[in-house]
Amino acid sequence: MSRYLLPLSALGTVAGAAVLLKDYVTGGACPSKATIPGKTVIVTGANTGIGKQTALELARRGGNIILACRDMEKCEAAAKDIRGETLNHHVNARHLDLASLKSIREFAAKIIEEEERVDILINNAGVMRCPHWTTEDGFEMQFGVNHLGHFLLTNLLLDKLKASAPSRIINLSSLAHVAGHIDFDDLNWQTRKYNTKAAYCQSKLAIVLFTKELSRRLQG
């Protein structure tokens, strides 16, 4: 029996370390039980992944949830899933293509016109390590969608968010930002050989810098 103790102890140590590392990297579980009845929440890229789970949890808490996505078929399906699981019928799909400044402006205009308030804006959508594509307006895709699209959306909705205070703007970045470097002379990778990983890290660093400056400007 004793010959199994050391391997089992080592296995237990490894398993425990893995759980602790997971909690450290992911930030653990949210302990809050707060509800948000009457509050309007916009979640970009909410048809799948983190965005969908965020929308699902906030719908459970009673919010008026707007799923803002490029693919309306997937967005409508996600909204239907969330309504069915939470029995919250205030979950709606709206078209938003962050690779198009025109689409962003149209989305923001409809929100300003149709929504009485916007309490929470969650800038979640993003693309990761794609080929050297460009947005409708000619920006490198990862920088254009991950940062510039959300930058414009946030600024267009800023007055509505201020009017709904106390409100929140949440920008999702990534640990990849620590490896980021912003080349202000070649943001769109027009003169350098394209590196999809470096472009992704650049976009995530830009989000962090934007968030820090936005926080400074909106202090108080």
Domains in the chain, number: 1
- Look at residue 18 and tell me if it is in a domain: no
- Look at residue 94 and tell me if it is in a domain: yes
The pLDDT, as a whole number, for residue 2 is 58
- Look at residue 204 and tell me if it is in a domain: yes
List residues with catalytic annotation. 200
Residue 186 corresponds to which tokens in the numbers above? Answer: 């070649």
CB-CB contact of 62 with 92 (8 Å): no
pLDDT at 79 exceeding the cut of 70: yes
At 29, the pLDDT band (50, 70, 90 cuts) reads confident
Domain of 119 in residue numbering reads as 31-218
- Look at residue 187 and tell me if it is in a domain: yes
CATH number of the domain that 121 lies in? 3.40.50.720
Burial (0-12, 13-18, 19+ Cβ within 10 Å), 216: exposed
- Look at residue 103 and tell me if it is in a domain: yes
- Look at residue 21 and tell me if it is in a domain: no
- Look at residue 84 and tell me if it is in a domain: yes
Residue 150 corresponds to which tokens in the numbers above? Answer: 């959300």
The pLDDT, as a whole number, for residue 194 is 96
